[in-house]
Amino acid sequence: MALADQQCIPCRGGVPPLPRERIDALLAQLEPGWALTASGHLLRSYEFRDFAKAMAFANRVGDIAEEQGHHPDLHVGWGRCGVEIWTHKIDGLTESDFFLAAKSDRAYRS
């Protein structure tokens, strides 16, 4: 099953972040453009023709986040929307972070 077809699982804390080996394996399954930040977050910037399209995309990602109960940081500017994802309760990455990243990619393609 594709990452985008998986459902995010709410993290209640008390679980360790994914090890780097697993992060690298999951990162390889995402579309190009995703990067691991120095803070250990997933980050991708999507390009648009104008501010309105960037905001519309941010709203689509926001709707997905609400549906999944997993909320990224969104960075909107003229012609771009950055999506930054990590599991706040453990200050690290879980598989659900990769599911949300893949769902963001799917929203961008549609």
Check which CATH number belongs to the domain holding 60 and give it: 3.30.1360.20
Q: 11 in a domain, yes or no?
A: no
Enter the pTM of the model.
0.94
Residues near 54 by beta carbon (within 8 Å), at least 6 away in sequence = 46, 48, 76, 77, 78, 79, 80, 81
52-101: per-residue pLDDT in tens? 999 999 999 999 999 999 999 999 999 999 999 999 889 999 999 999 99
Q: 101 in a domain, yes or no?
A: yes
Q: 42 in a domain, yes or no?
A: yes
Q: 21 in a domain, yes or no?
A: no
pLDDT above 90: percentage of residues in the chain? 84
Tokens 């985008």 locate to 4
For 76, the domain range is 36-110
